[in-house]
Amino acid sequence: GNSVTQMEGPVTLSEEAFLTINCTYTATGYPSLFWYVQYPGEGLQLLLKATKADDKGSNKGFEATYRKETTSFHLEKGSVQVSDSAVYFCALTITGGGNKLTFGTGTQLKVEL
């Protein structure tokens, strides 16, 4: 089956620190990969995506590269802000699989001044 594994949280960083949130996956077929973000009290929003190997998704200073050889899609940001405090979810969907998303358990990020 399909599964997504994320690093355990919470992750606490100081403002302007470098962020990495690890994500690895197992999948049958050809997955597309996503990072979603959930701010307190809200639904999930798409942060970035990559649909094939070696693609890099980027948005709002966040980046993630689809690494087929290591089955990974790690999220990075060079300088985090307090406003980045949220829960981050890695997810995958399989082409032709009804667009069903398989999510990781989420990683809570807290950024302090």
Partner 1 sequence: DAGITQSPRHKVTETGTPVTLRCHQTENHRYMYWYRQDPGHGLRLIHYSYGVKDTDKGEVSDGYSVSRSKTEDFLLTLESATSSQTSVYFCATQGGETQYFGPGTRLLVL
Task: Write the DSSP assignment of the chain as a string of letters.
Answer: --EEEE--S-EEEETT--EEE-EEEE-SS-EEEEEEEE-TTS-EEEEEEE-STT-EEEETTEEEE-BTTTTB--EEESS--GGG-EEEEEEEEETTTTT--EE---EEEEEE-
Task: Please tell me whether residue 105 binds partner 1 under the rule CB under 8 A.
Answer: yes
Task: Please tell me whether residue 58 binds partner 1 under the rule CB under 8 A.
Answer: no
Among 14, 26, 45, 81, binds partner 1 (CB under 8 A): 45
The interface region with partner 1, picked from 20-28, 63-71, 73-81, 97-105 by CB under 8 A, is: 97-105
Binding site for partner 1 (CB under 8 A): 4, 32, 36, 42-46, 49, 51, 89, 98-101, 103-106
